[in-house]
Structure 1
Amino acid sequence: MPMMNPFNLLRQYIGNSTQKLINEEVFDPKTNSTLNKTPLQRPRPTGASQLYSTIKEIHNARLAYKPKSNRLAYCRNTEGVKAYRKAPFQKDVIDKCASSPFPGTLVLRDAVKQSMFVNDFWTHPETMRIVSEAVGVPLGVVMPTEIGHTNIQVEGATIAEMTSNLKVEPAVENLELSPEDRTYNPLKDASAIIPWHYDSYPYVCVLMLSDTEGMIGGETYIKKGDGEVQKVEGPQIGHAVMLQGGEVCHLAARAKGVKERISTITSYRSTLPNVYDSSNITNVRPYADTHSLYPEWTQYRLRKLRDELTQYLDKTKKEEDPAQERKNVQTLIDHQIDYLRQTSRQMVNPGFTQQVLRKYGRPSYYDAPRIWEIVQSLPEFDILASAADEERRWQPESIYWTDLLRSTETIRLGKPLQSVLGTAMWEKTRTYYMGDELLRQGLNEVFLDWLGYSGIWDLYCNI
């Protein structure tokens, strides 16, 4: 996971002082007032080449990045970190973008729509070049709502309390550690800042905005293919790490001994045509603004479909074998039908999602795969699951029944099933149930609804 220090990019905005960055209003929750009321003025570069020639002249580098190196020599750039933190911590951004999907965790989404600075930082051609080179694949931002997604661990139990403790200056004060803190084991403690999960998108860049000196915890843990857990040290302040988070199950350990842990994340997909796109929006549906999420999701998926079709049309101009051409076009059509079906299925009715969350709780939504594993060992499981699927009284006219039949046929033919948790062969000896199908598609709220109707949820609650 190559690491980099992207904050030299910010210096063309800030010069020698954070006050020279951009004259945006910064909200101070402590005083309930703005710190800077100068009208918004953002200096705009006349072009990418001019911007980066200026950076090279002044700093003798294009971002602090070295190709093919796992880790860079650490170079603290406090001004750059403060410059970035200043943008998402404005009152408008906090008011419109803050939520708390997990206990003790504050999340800022859609900050890019409130801050031109955040957008420019992540979408600049040089930034895109670097993240692409870091993973060896040409990358594109998935969609605007996934630019600068910020996860915040800070003191406070409510959104108001947590936002009141946000400051532009990174906290450097270490907190006294209790005996429990010193023996903190995130693999046994349920208080991880982000529990075990797969990211919704193939690639992510995680940029650290907090001082990690003296921090206990705060690392990322990944599960390897054999199930073994491996700890990956997090990046230092001002550094970033690339993670193939959509393919690797991982968790973010809660930080102990520090007043804050703030990281900001941008998600990417490969821009190469004919590369499988495992993206989904399972993780973000419960708390994202679906009025903006769903249209962006649809647009990006249709653009990818357009690129696939364009490449095929360009390629078939050279194809001289009619039989091979028919085979190729059928493969193309099959893949695009699956892709469009997945695109549609992910856009669950927001009202239904919120109804299920109120009934079963948000923790159960994110814990759905583990719940499924637990109930499979119960004596009554097969009876209840079989009865629910055979009677089909649960949403009898649902599109999910045809999905189940399609997957069952795929298993019968010995073909792999594509899933939000990866692509694999069905190797279990038991029947493939509707619960399996819904989790395969990342439809956790629909899964919980089926689980409740089948009686398996009651079984689980009585364990």
Structure 2
Amino acid sequence: MNPLKLVKRWSWGSTKGPEEKEETFDPKVHLDYTPPSKKITLEDLLLKQSPTASPIAGTVPFPLLSSEGVRAYRRALFQKDVIDKCASSPFPGTLVLRDAVKQSKFINDFWTHPETMRIVSEAVDVPLEIVMPTEIGHTNIQVEGTTIPEMARNLKVEPSLEKVELSAEDRAYDPLKDASAIIPWHYDSYPYVCVMMLSETEGMIGGETYIKKGDGESQKVEGPQIGHAVMLQGGEVRHLAARAKGVKERISTITSYRSKVPNIYDSSYMTNVRPYADMNTMYPEWTNYRLRKLRDELTHYLDRTEKEQNFTQATEEVQDLINNQIEYLQRTSRQMVDPEYSQRLVKEYGKPAYYDAPRIWQTVRTLPSFEELAFSTDDERKWRPDSGYWMDLQKSMETIRRGKPLQSVLGTGVWDQTKRYYMGDELLRQGLNEVFLDWLGCTGLWEVYGKL
């Protein structure tokens, strides 16, 4: 890159306050794209590629926004309507903005523009489309303040250059050993994500992403600097996001995608977002997106059969098509846990337990009373006896009996037939963490676990 261009690109001029009217997105002005210098493959990570995955696990950071683009995006993001209607704060010093796309035309036009879509698709070698509007530009803000108004007052269009004095403990920070990772080891709810940085990162410690390799080791992917982005096939690779230290602000924004390729398994689920999403907004969008996917699959099949001369219909192929769509519709339905039921359980058991449910299950299975309590609950259907989850359990047990793989929110695998498969396994397989906690409470195992 031309050094003069670099100087021009990151020379910040004076800017007005965030109350200034947002700009109209123009890719010639607001983009400054350079393709990623390296793409990381699943093979590089010693991971097997599933039939539905791209061979690209992710990219190194690459330039995406110009300096004008960063300022324009921040100006759009910090508008009063966006803060008033989209902000929440899980804890002091952290601001989360969801659905900003519905308050800002600039943000919507940036993420949905054909040029932006071309860039993200080429980065992972797969044509992508945005999952749904509510997953456009999910923004995480790390800034000083204890309330939303206080944090909002500390947000300026001009990126902050202020640094925070680092302690010896900060300098020794190791996200692989420290429990304070901003997002612990996890898979994303959606197949692909683009993470874009809107803050200065010079002098920052942390902020990287670590990917779990097939040999159990961790590979670090450097966090993007201001105006840069990184692509990750987060639904396929287990990863961790390290906490950033040493800067006054850190603003990253994330948009989620799925593949547009027909006959590709869509692994999306809503486990990660149900505890904090507005279900009244999310469920209708989820339904529409899933039905569009179903429509596209059927249209693709019909187009092929109608265009092929002397087409001979294979009964097995048609049956697979129908079975796949039935399963897809059921998975679509199961993810829409009743909002009142879901919120009550998250409040009762707590968000930490919700997100830690798989690890809790591993611990619970080692308890002396586990077999007796879990078996009696399942055998006598003491928990929600009329629920459709019991049919799901029987179907999964039959799949195991036949030695076939089970598709889980954590990937595909063959169940060890020497181990009994419980309702707890089935609910976690579907990513129904709050429902799992409800079942665990009914068995009496939650009470035993709480005494450890």
TM-score strictly above 0.5: yes
What is the one-letter code of the residue matched to 1:351?
A: E
> 1 CA distance for matches of 2:33 and 2:64?
9
Q: Tell me the secondary structure at the aligned position of residue 159 of structure 2.
A: coil
* TM-superposed deviation, 1:270: 0.3
Which of 330, 336, 343 is the equivalent residue of 1:347? 336
Is the Cα–Cα contact under 8 Å of residues 89 and 166 in structure 1 kept in the other structure?
yes
CA deviation map 1:38-59 (0-9, x unaligned): xx57548xxxxxx66xx3xx89
* TM-superposed deviation, 1:212: 1.1
* TM-superposed deviation, 1:405: 0.4
Q: Tell me the secondary structure at the aligned position of residue 87 of structure 1.
A: helix
Is the Cα–Cα contact under 8 Å of residues 34 and 63 in structure 2 kept in the other structure?
no
The alignment status of 1:414 with 2:400, answered yes or no, reads: no
Going from structure 1 to structure 2, the CA distance change for 1:147 and 1:439 (only over 3 Å counts) comes to same
> 2 CA distance for matches of 1:197 and 1:313?
38
Is the Cα–Cα contact under 8 Å of residues 152 and 263 in structure 1 kept in the other structure?
yes
Is the Cα–Cα contact under 8 Å of residues 171 and 259 in structure 1 kept in the other structure?
yes
Which of 68, 89, 106 is the equivalent residue of 1:117? 106
Which of 171, 182, 197 is the equivalent residue of 2:171? 182
What is the one-letter code of the residue matched to 2:359?
A: R
CA deviation map 1:219-270 (0-9, x unaligned): 1122123332222211111100000011112121111111122110110000
* TM-superposed deviation, 1:462: 1.3
Which of 143, 147, 151 is the equivalent residue of 1:162? 151
The runs of 5 or more residues in structure 2 that have no matched partner are 1-5, 40-59
What is the one-letter code of the residue matched to 2:33?
A: A
Which of 35, 58, 64 is the equivalent residue of 1:66? 35
* TM-superposed deviation, 1:102: 6.1
> 1 CA distance for matches of 2:108 and 2:77?
11
Question: Is the deviation greater in 112-121 or in 453-462?
Answer: 453-462
Which of 188, 193, 200 is the equivalent residue of 1:204? 193
Name the structure 2 match of 1:47. Answer: none
> 2 CA distance for matches of 1:394 and 1:101?
32
Going from structure 1 to structure 2, the CA distance change for 1:422 and 1:158 (only over 3 Å counts) comes to farther
Which of 266, 280, 297 is the equivalent residue of 1:277? 266
> 2 CA distance for matches of 1:73 and 1:376?
44
Is the Cα–Cα contact under 8 Å of residues 153 and 193 in structure 1 kept in the other structure?
no
What is the one-letter code of the residue matched to 1:244?
A: Q
What is the one-letter code of the residue matched to 2:401?
A: R
* TM-superposed deviation, 1:158: 4.0
> 1 CA distance for matches of 2:114 and 2:398?
45
Q: Tell me the secondary structure at the aligned position of residue 206 of structure 1.
A: strand
CA deviation map 1:386-429 (0-9, x unaligned): 11111111111001000000011111111111111111111363
CA deviation map 1:121-147 (0-9, x unaligned): 000001101111110000000111111
What is the one-letter code of the residue matched to 2:351?
A: R
Name the structure 2 match of 1:141. Answer: 130
Which of 166, 191, 212 is the equivalent residue of 1:223? 212
Name the structure 2 match of 1:391. Answer: 380
Name the structure 1 match of 2:298. Answer: 309
Name the structure 1 match of 2:428. Answer: 439
Question: Is the deviation greater in 391-400 or in 68-77?
Answer: 68-77
Which of 198, 209, 223 is the equivalent residue of 1:234? 223
> 2 CA distance for matches of 1:164 and 1:42?
21
Is the Cα–Cα contact under 8 Å of residues 211 and 238 in structure 2 kept in the other structure?
yes
What are the within-5 Å matches in structure 2 for residues 291-330 of structure 1?
A: 291-317=280-306, 318=308, 320=310, 325-330=314-319
> 2 CA distance for matches of 1:106 and 1:81?
19
The alignment status of 1:289 with 2:281, answered yes or no, reads: no
The runs of 5 or more residues in structure 1 that have no matched partner are 1-7, 27-34, 45-50
Which of 178, 181, 184 is the equivalent residue of 1:195? 184
CA deviation map 1:164-223 (0-9, x unaligned): 322222121111111221222222333222222211100000001111111111111221
Name the structure 2 match of 1:455. Answer: 444
What is the one-letter code of the residue matched to 2:35?
A: K
What is the one-letter code of the residue matched to 1:286?
A: P
- TM-score when normalising by structure 2: 0.87
> 2 CA distance for matches of 1:218 and 1:69?
19
Going from structure 1 to structure 2, the CA distance change for 1:17 and 1:119 (only over 3 Å counts) comes to farther
What is the one-letter code of the residue matched to 1:307?
A: D
Which of 387, 391, 409 is the equivalent residue of 1:402? 391
Name the structure 2 match of 1:265. Answer: 254
* TM-superposed deviation, 1:74: 6.6
Name the structure 2 match of 1:30. Answer: none
What are the within-5 Å matches in structure 2 for residues 423-434 of structure 1?
A: 423-427=412-416, 429-434=418-423
Is the Cα–Cα contact under 8 Å of residues 99 and 287 in structure 1 kept in the other structure?
no
Q: Tell me the secondary structure at the aligned position of residue 276 of structure 1.
A: coil
* TM-superposed deviation, 1:445: 0.7
Name the structure 2 match of 1:331. Answer: 320
Superposition RMSD in Å: 2.6
CA deviation map 1:149-176 (0-9, x unaligned): 1111222344344333222221211111
Going from structure 1 to structure 2, the CA distance change for 1:412 and 1:100 (only over 3 Å counts) comes to farther
> 2 CA distance for matches of 1:313 and 1:331?
15
* TM-superposed deviation, 1:69: 4.3
Is the Cα–Cα contact under 8 Å of residues 76 and 104 in structure 2 kept in the other structure?
yes
What is the number of residues matched between the two proteins? Answer: 423
Going from structure 1 to structure 2, the CA distance change for 1:41 and 1:159 (only over 3 Å counts) comes to closer
> 1 CA distance for matches of 2:298 and 2:184?
38
Question: Is the deviation greater in 452-461 or in 201-210?
Answer: 452-461
> 1 CA distance for matches of 2:378 and 2:353?
22
Question: Is the deviation greater in 381-390 or in 297-306?
Answer: 381-390
> 2 CA distance for matches of 1:176 and 1:160?
25
Q: Tell me the secondary structure at the aligned position of residue 172 of structure 1.
A: coil
- TM-score when normalising by structure 1: 0.85
> 2 CA distance for matches of 1:418 and 1:121?
35
